[in-house]
């Protein structure tokens, strides 16, 4: 079982039996974050989808405090201080991080300052979670389904910079997860996508997917 706590925007805490994983820990300047970086006492891995400030966020500060390893593409890792623990990887296959966690980088359709943006499939405790990062809808999400069959999809719905509710619902028809949790909305006014609209579109297009809407700080467990 994994406990998934949404920390606002695209930030998640994933609590496994043997590891604590953070994804895109944008906290200190996030008006929706229920905690700040100083409130994180333990972490094993920090996954960074790309180096925009609202995703790289507090990764360095958390890594220094907790000793966690930052997982990213080489270009992002190379720009971080050398004294940090880092796992440089790229898209292609599952990588064993240790502590019962394996991750695969997968494509994302977006921009970045260094390298390219990615998403992650995170495997632990018998569950695979797809964190899409910042992305538009793209057809190769069907390959993510074919290769990894994630049970849970963490999907951006805010629009403007990422998918809106309709596009995110179409993504579910390609990914076919059991559960979808919307993210990357409401942090700033430009991110207009509403989770209720996403839930309605998902019910129409992908009725077998259970949509779980969290408030910042709330958690869901799977299975």
Residue 31, Cβ density class (10 Å: 0-12 exposed, 13-18 middle, ≥19 buried): exposed
Q: What is the pLDDT of residue 99?
A: 98
E strands within 38-88? 45-47, 69-72, 86-88
CA atoms within 13 A on the CB side of 186: 14
Residue 189, Cβ density class (10 Å: 0-12 exposed, 13-18 middle, ≥19 buried): exposed
Residue 223 lies in a domain: no
Which residues, 6 or more positions from 111, have their beta carbon under 8 angstroms from its beta carbon? 50, 117
| Domain housing 128 | 2-215
Q: What is the pLDDT of residue 155?
A: 98
> pLDDT above 90 covers what percent of the chain?
100
Q: How far, in Å, CA of 58 to CA of 38, rounded?
A: 10
Residue 221 lies in a domain: no
Q: What is the pLDDT of residue 52?
A: 98
- Counted domains in the chain: 1
Residue 222 lies in a domain: no
CATH assignment of the domain containing 201: 3.60.15.10
Q: What is the pLDDT of residue 112?
A: 98
Q: What is the pLDDT of residue 26?
A: 98
Q: What mean pLDDT is predicted for residues 132-146?
A: 98
- State the chain's mean pLDDT as an integer: 98
Q: If residue 165 lies in a helix (H) or strand (E), which one and from where to where?
A: helix 165-175
Q: What is the pLDDT of residue 7?
A: 98
Residue 85 lies in a domain: yes
Residue 180 lies in a domain: yes
Q: What mean pLDDT is predicted for residues 98-111?
A: 98
Torsion of CA 15, 16, 17, 18, to 10 degrees: -100
Q: What mean pLDDT is predicted for residues 15-43?
A: 96
Which residues, 6 or more positions from 208, have their beta carbon under 8 angstroms from its beta carbon? 176
Predicted TM-score of the model (pTM): 0.98
pLDDT in tens, 63-99: 999 999 999 999 999 999 999 999 999 999 999 999 9
Residue 193 lies in a domain: yes
Residue 170 lies in a domain: yes
Residue 220 lies in a domain: no
E strands within 125-168? 127-131, 152-156
Using alpha carbons, list the distances in angstroms from residue 16 to 40, 90, 129: 16, 23, 12
Q: What is the pLDDT of residue 173?
A: 98
Q: What mean pLDDT is predicted for residues 93-109?
A: 98
């Amino acid at each position: 079982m994994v406990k998934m706590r949404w920390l606002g925007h695209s930030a998640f805490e994933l609590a496994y039996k043997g590891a604590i994983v953070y994804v895109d820990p944008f906290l200190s300047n996030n008006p929706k974050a229920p905690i700040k970086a100083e409130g994180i006492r333990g972490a094993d891995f920090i996954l960074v989808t790309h180096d925009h400030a609202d995703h790289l966020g507090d990764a360095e500060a958390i890594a220094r405090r907790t000793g966690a390893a930052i997982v990213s593409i080489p270009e992002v890792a190379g720009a971080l201080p050398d004294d940090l623990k880092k796992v440089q990887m790229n898209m292609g296959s599952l990588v064993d991080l240790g502590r019962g966690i394996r991750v695969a980088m997968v494509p994302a359709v977006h921009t970045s300052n260094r390298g390219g943006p990615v998403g992650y499939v995170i495997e632990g405790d018998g569950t695979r979670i797809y964190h899409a990062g910042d992305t538009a809808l793209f057809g190769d999400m069907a390959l993510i389904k074919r290769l990894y069959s994630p049970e849970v999809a963490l999907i951006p719905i805010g629009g403007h910079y990422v998918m809106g509710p309709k596009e995110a619902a179409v993504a579910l028809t390609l990914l076919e997860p059991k559960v979808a949790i919307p993210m990357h909305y409401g942090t700033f006014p430009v991110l207009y996508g509403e989770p209720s609209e996403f839930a309605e579109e998902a019910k129409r297009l992908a009725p077998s997917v259970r949509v779980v809407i969290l408030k910042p700080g709330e958690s869901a467990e799977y299975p």
